[in-house]
């Protein structure tokens, strides 16, 4: 821009500033083409559209610079389609955007707990904050835009959680440069364990910046070198909040989350008339979350970038040799608690802090070691706050995940090791025996391939000819490729017939949508459960194949184990490990058998199901959405350990996919989430909803579907919600438990269950948060109204809530196809 143009622009700004106001009242509206300008002309508010779009938005932008830079958008999800819009403030203190017919396009939040303003006004501050307050009260804000940021973090915005209101403040990217609607990426202060900053794509962690070390986020030490910013994390009993503050008022600076997931911190350069970026996150591939698996360390300066921490070796050498590091590493000498010691690892980004505890008292590192050594579950410790000597302890439990070597400003961590390990100083996470490990892994890989080939030749050479009589449909369904991928043994039909006594009725365990299930005993005495596809099955051979391909690749304590399959002639079967205590519904909803489920058993079952779901959603090789989680699909072994079963309707998500839509809705009444039942949208949050229903059923001993009380016509979710609002959660507890339960634990379980069944998927926690909330005495956010919170016609037959034993096949699994 030439000198004349700059002078003209300056005159334009001065003219507008001389006439524009920073405030609107109930009697003054801002129309399209008019603006508000903050007192010192830093920010401006008004209507705008983006370069490649005609949609109109109300937003805030920097007023003094020529490059349009929008820092907040009110109606980001609901744009206007013409220039007829107006912005107004009205009693009792609500901002609203109206269209040409006076219809409300967007409005600010106003809750019953908010004090109404008899004379409300809206004002744009020089901080970029748009506030609503009473004209006679300058100290109390009814509403402020800083509580609802978009993609930009300005000085004064507080990210984090308010545990009293249950509201989280976070930033989320635009969908694209031309669409300010909420995009795929979001940045959060995660309060689980010790607070840290997470960048997510949907619910999947992409990058982890934390934890906080008193000066900066451990994974982003360069942010501490910014002379224009001060960083602050404050932890209160009812709130966790992170703020970035600009030093002085002469510099324009901001942090932004771009549509591609890149976090950028920039300052305005008057000389070049542009924004200058000086911090970009993530930096390289080592910033990808958990790239090297548990106890692995990433170093962007080496090839390959992943290595085991010193004194650790690959969990799966064959995969490690193929540069598949997802399984991570394990200690080369196992811990035994007694006599264990701690080795120092230096110059690293501290591991994921979601499974940590901490002590904020001024304690030395020696004190931290003593505390950690006394707790066998404590696997590592570090200094909590590096801003001063003796500033608390951070204790790690479980696997150490997402470690990387830091070129500068890396921190120290002290990791628990076996007493027999050498005492020389450990490296910063690169295994000195990398070459030896990869060589061994390569040899192991070749030997394994040869061994597998020999076994296949032997097995298929000895297979009876009658096992090859599968018809053409089954041959196509279970092709050699499928068998190889599933890695499941093949059971011949004669073997299954003998084990089940020709499918004798005395061995029949129950029946589901797939078909009947039989108990069997193999010749070696092992008990099995055989699920036989019925010719009238509503699920069919495709679901059979789906289950074969999915569950064979899943291994977890809380998932049922598939032993093999049989597909021969007209018979299609899956063979499982046998569960002596059968399915949860047969015990929980039986008046007599339910007495065997004391509270501790029920709470253990809740935790077991939660951990199984967490594995499916986050930790397995595939990201699995079960889609039919219910009491009849939870099996109990001899020790009452729950096992999630029946994966015929499950779906796997690839890459970073977090949600899908189907026209073929499958599931069970009473357990399906609203967005899935109505719109066919399913995600991990659909399973979270079903889990919440299960929790409330386990506490109450009642089914959700068919639940009925004389006092009202609510379902179980509605009844629990009513008791929650009345602070009477004790009334939900199954009477057969009498008083033999921990009330605090019961109330926590109910509260978590209600969080899981909230109507909006975005409000429901993910399973990692659920597991944490169940296992820790932390403040829980307020629950919102559950989905399907409606009263029903009392003329409906609710006999299905009978306390008599009900077989699992009476819980109808539904399938329907949505029309266009």
Bridge partners of residue 661, in order along the sequence: 681
Q: Which residues contact 597 (CB under 8 A, 6 or more apart)?
A: 587, 588, 605, 640, 698
Element (H, E) at 318: helix 317-321
Bridge partners of residue 331, in order along the sequence: 312
List strands edge to edge, sheet with 57-62.
35-37, 43-48, 57-62, 70-73
* Integer angstrom CA distances of residue 638 from 19, 559, 577, 588, 807: 79, 14, 12, 16, 20
Helix (H/G/I), strand (E/B), else coil: 440: helix
List strands edge to edge, sheet with 196-201.
171-176, 179-190, 196-201, 204-208
Closest CA to 690 of 774, 743, 748, 632: 632
Question: Is 628 annotated in the active site?
Answer: yes
Contact 404, 298 (CB under 8 A): yes
């010193």: which residue's tokens? 310
Structure tokens at 131: 């506030």
- DSSP of 359-403: E-S---HHHHHHHHHH-TTEEEEEES-TTSSS--EEEEES---SE
Strands of 30-75, DSSP E: 30-31, 35-37, 43-48, 57-62, 70-73
Catalytic annotation, pick one of 22, 226, 352, 628: 628
CA distance 168 to 715: 29
**HSE (CB half, 13 Å, CA atoms) of 185?**
22
- DSSP of 675-718: HHHHH-EEEHHHHHHHHHHHHHHHHHS--STT--BTTB-B-HHH
Contact 588, 701 (CB under 8 A): yes
Closest CA to 350 of 277, 405, 432: 405
Structure tokens at 288: 């990808």
Contact 565, 478 (CB under 8 A): yes
Pairing status of strand 562-568 against strand 571-577: antiparallel
Element (H, E) at 802: none
Catalytic residues: 628
């Amino acid at each position: 821009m030439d000198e004349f143009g700059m002078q003209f622009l300056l005159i334009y700004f001065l003219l507008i500033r001389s006439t524009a106001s920073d405030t609107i009242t109930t009697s003054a509206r801002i129309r399209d083409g008019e603006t508000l300008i903050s007192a010192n002309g830093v920010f401006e508010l008004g209507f705008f559209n983006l370069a490649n779009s005609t949609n109109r938005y109300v937003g805030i932008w920097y007023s003094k610079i020529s490059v349009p830079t929008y820092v907040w958008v009110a109606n980001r999800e609901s744009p206007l389609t013409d220039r007829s819009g107006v912005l107004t403030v009205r009693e009792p203190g609500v901002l609203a955007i109206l269209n040409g017919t006076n219809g409300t396009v967007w409005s600010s939040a106003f809750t019953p707990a908010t004090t109404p303003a008899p004379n409300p006004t809206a004002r744009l501050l020089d901080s970029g904050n748009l506030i609503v307050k009473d004209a006679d009260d300058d100290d109390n804000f009814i509403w402020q835009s800083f509580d609802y940021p978009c993609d930009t973090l300005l000085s004064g915005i507080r990210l984090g959680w308010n545990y009293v209101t249950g509201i989280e403040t976070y930033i989320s990217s635009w969908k694209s440069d031309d669409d300010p609607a909420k995009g795929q990426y979001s940045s959060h202060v995660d309060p689980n364990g010790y607070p840290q900053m997470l960048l997510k794509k949907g619910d999947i962690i992409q990058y982890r910046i934390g934890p906080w070390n008193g000066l900066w986020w451990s994974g982003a030490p360069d942010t501490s070198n910014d002379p224009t910013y001060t960083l602050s994390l404050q932890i209160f009993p009812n709130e966790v909040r992170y703020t970035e503050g600009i030093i002085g008022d002469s510099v324009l600076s901001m942090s932004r989350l771009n549509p591609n997931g890149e976090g950028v911190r920039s300052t305005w350069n008057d000389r070049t008339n542009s924004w200058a970026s000086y911090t970009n996150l993530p930096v390289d591939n080592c910033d990808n979350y958990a790239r090297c698996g548990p106890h692995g360390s990433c170093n962007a300066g080496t090839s390959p970038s992943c290595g085991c921490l010193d004194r650790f070796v690959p969990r799966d050498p064959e995969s490690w040799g193929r540069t598949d590091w997802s399984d991570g590493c394990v200690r080369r000498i196992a811990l035994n608690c007694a006599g264990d010691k701690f080795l120092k690892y230096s110059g690293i980004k501290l591991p994921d802090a979601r499974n940590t505890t901490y002590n904020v008292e001024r304690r030395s590192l020696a004190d931290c070691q003593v505390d950690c050594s006394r707790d066998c579950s404590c696997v590592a410790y570090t200094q909590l706050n590096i801003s001063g000597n003796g500033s608390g302890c951070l204790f790690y439990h479980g696997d150490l995940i997402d470690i990387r070597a830091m070129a500068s400003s890396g921190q120290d961590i002290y990791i628990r090791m076996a007493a027999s390990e050498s005492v020389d100083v450990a490296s910063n996470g690169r295994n000195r025996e990398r070459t030896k490990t990869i060589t061994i892994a390569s040899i192991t890989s070749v030997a394994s391939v040869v061994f597998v080939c020999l076994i296949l030749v032997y097995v298929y050479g000895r297979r009876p000819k009658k096992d090859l009589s599968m018809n053409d449909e089954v041959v196509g369904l279970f092709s050699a490729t499928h068998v190889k991928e599933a890695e499941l043994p093949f059971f011949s039909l004669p073997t299954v017939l003998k084990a089940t006594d020709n499918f004798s009725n005395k061995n029949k365990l129950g029946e589901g949508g797939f078909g009947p299930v039989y108990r069997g005993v193999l010749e070696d005495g092992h008990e099995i459960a055989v699920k036989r596809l019925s010719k009238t099955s509503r699920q069919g051979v495709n679901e059979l194949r789906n289950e074969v391909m999915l569950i064979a690749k899943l291994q977890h304590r809380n998932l049922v184990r598939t032993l093999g399959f049989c597909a021969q002639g007209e018979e299609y079967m899956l063979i499982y490990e046998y569960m002596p205590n059968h399915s949860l519904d047969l015990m929980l909803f039986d008046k007599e058998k339910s007495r065997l489920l004391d509270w501790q058993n029920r709470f253990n079952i809740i935790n077991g199901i939660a951990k199984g779901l967490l594995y499916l959603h986050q930790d397995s090789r595939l990201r699995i959405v079960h889609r039919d989680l219910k009491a009849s699909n939870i099996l109990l072994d001899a020790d009452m350990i729950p096992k999630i079963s029946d994966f015929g309707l499950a779906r796997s998500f690839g890459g970073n996919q977090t949600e899908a839509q189907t026209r073929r809705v499958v599931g069970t009444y009473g357990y399906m989430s609203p967005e899935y039942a109505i719109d066919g949208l399913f995600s991990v949050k659909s399973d979270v909803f079903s889990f919440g229903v299960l929790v409330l059923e386990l506490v109450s001993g009642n089914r959700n579907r068919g639940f009925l009380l004389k006092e009202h016509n609510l379902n179980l979710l509605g009844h629990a919600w009513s008791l929650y609002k009345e602070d009477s959660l004790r009334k939900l507890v199954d009477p057969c438990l009498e008083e033999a339960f921990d009330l605090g634990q019961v109330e926590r379980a109910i509260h978590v269950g209600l969080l899981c069944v909230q109507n909006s998927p975005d409000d429901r926690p993910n399973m990692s948060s659920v597991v944490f909330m169940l296992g820790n005495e932390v403040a829980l956010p307020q629950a919102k109204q559950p989905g399907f919170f409606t009263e029903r016609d009392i003329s409906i037959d609710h006999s299905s809530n009978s306390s008599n034993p009900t077989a699992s096949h009476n819980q109808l699994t539904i399938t329907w196809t949505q029309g266009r």
